Amino acid sequence: MWMKKEKRKIIYYFPHLFVDSEVKIPGGMLRPFKNQSDELRIRHEEYKGGSVFTLDDAPEVNEFNQETDVRVQKITELVKFSYFAKNVPHAMSIHGFVSLETFDMFRLIEENLDSSFEHKIVVSNGMSKFSHSADKVLLSRKNQAVNSIRIKDYNFGFDIVGTYESLESKNELYSVIHLYNKVWEQQSLFNSFLDKPILAKTTFEVLYKFNGGDKKKLKEFASDFVEMINEFVENYKNDELISTIISLIKPHKDDIVSNINDSLNGLKITRDSLVHDGIQQFDTSSIKFYLVWFPIYWSITINRESLTRDHALRFLCFLCLCKHSPSTWDTSKTSVNPPFRSKYSHLGCYVMKSNQLANDMTEEYRNLHIKAIRNWLEEN
């Protein structure tokens, strides 16, 4: 006898996200995956490690329904977005190489009582559909070359991008989050880099329009964006650390605006070259800029009401990063004094400073950070 789809039990499994204990995220919880479960029969012993997502108001193993599935999909996209916003993957990251595939989510559905029944996943090539064996598809995805990571609550930046509850009133923006996350997808630079500039430029244009932007003023966007940050951080001008960083950044404003403007123009040129002329550009610097910049633009427009002093420091660190050309952001360097010691890349400095400056610190430690930022800005 066939089991009805809505009565089939399901869990939402992340094979490449490892947790030591419960990790709370808006709308639910990540828990360590149990190999054996009395509540859910699954076919393969290959599913080991990783984590399981559970909604706040639902058990870990639950009967499938479409409404819950859509909700889980939205939260999953937000989980990816919040991670990339706070922990931009870079060459010197302790998490190693992280891509969209690191956050793959599998729907593990219990076996049918009829052993001859095989679960299928429908795929499409754009022209027609084909039903693949679900077991083969999921196991091939699980065993692909993906770097697994171990995560904690503090690895996510929901304070930067917003929570599931806060974004439900802006439901149309979930497609923007999804497309941004897609730009982090693994691709070969030699034969399949084509869609990244298209996805990136699309998300910018959609969000710019949502924010009431005027296409006629796009040429002024870089300057307007920097001014947007300046207006926000002015709310904390009496904070000694923030006021000092503002004064350090001020002499470099023209370089910062120029680099932002060049990066956004480069993104447009790369997209237009492909769409209008069929020519692929292999310079990835505008994509590097976009991946770091877009969550900042999102945060200061979509999530502005929730922002605090911590975010003012993050935005100032981003302006420091923009003093340097994005083509150099992820380049590792070697120190002169002491000699041959690896130095943080510009991107590594941004991630480290934006996550550390908000912590309580002694005056001595604060002065060391200020000195490091001054040197960072003055570096050619």
pLDDT by residue for the chain (380 residues), tens only, comes to 344 444 678 889 999 999 999 999 998 999 998 766 666 666 566 677 899 999 987 777 778 888 888 999 999 999 999 999 999 998 777 777 899 999 999 888 776 665 656 667 777 767 777 776 767 766 666 667 688 899 999 999 999 999 888 788 787 889 999 999 999 998 766 655 578 999 999 999 999 999 999 888 888 999 999 999 999 999 998 999 999 999 999 999 999 999 999 999 999 999 988 888 877 777 889 999 999 999 999 999 999 999 999 999 999 999 999 999 999 998 877 666 666 566 789 999 999 999 999 888 888 989 999 999 999 999 87
Q: Which amino acid would we find at residue 51?
A: S
Spatial CA neighbour of 146 closest among 16, 32, 12:
16
Give the integer Cα–Cα distance in Å for 314 and 295. 11
Are 31 and 60 a contacting pair, CB within 8 Å? yes
Report in angstroms the alpha-carbon separations of 128 from 118, 120, 124, 125. 21, 16, 6, 6
What is the rounded distance in angstroms from the CA atom of residue 139 to the CA atom of residue 47?
A: 8
Per-residue confidence (pLDDT) for residue 1, from 0 to 100? 35
CB atoms within 10 A of CB 82: 23
Q: What is the pTM of this model?
A: 0.89
Residue with tokens 């790369």: 270
The per-residue pLDDT for 36 is 60
Distance CA 194, CA 192 (A): 5
CA 368 to chain centre: 29
All structural domains of the chain with their residue ranges: 5-150, 187-378
Nearest Cα residue to 280 out of 269, 290, 288: 269
In the block, residue with structure tokens 């709370």: 24
Side chain identity at residue 359, one-letter code: N
Query: What is the structure's pLDDT at 5?
Result: 46
What pLDDT is recorded for position 2? 40
What pLDDT score does 341 carry? 64
CA 105 to chain centre: 15
- pLDDT value of position 306: 93
C-beta neighbour count of 239 within 10 angstroms: 15
Beta-bridge partner residues of 124? 129
Structure-block tokens of residue 72:
């889980």
Token pair, residue 379, equals: 């570096």
Q: What is the pLDDT of residue 380?
A: 76
- What residues have CB less than 8 Å from 319, skipping those under 6 apart? 226, 229, 249, 256
Q: Name the residue among 153, 149, 48, 163 with its Cα closest to residue 99.
A: 149
For Cα atoms 63, 67, 69, give the angle at the middle one, nearest 5 degrees. Answer: 65
Contacts of 377 by beta carbon, 8 Å cutoff, 6+ apart: 248, 249, 252, 320, 323
Q: Is 26 exposed, middle or buried (0-12, 13-18, 19+ CB in 10 A)?
A: middle
Angstrom distance (rounded) from CA 210 to CA 93? 33
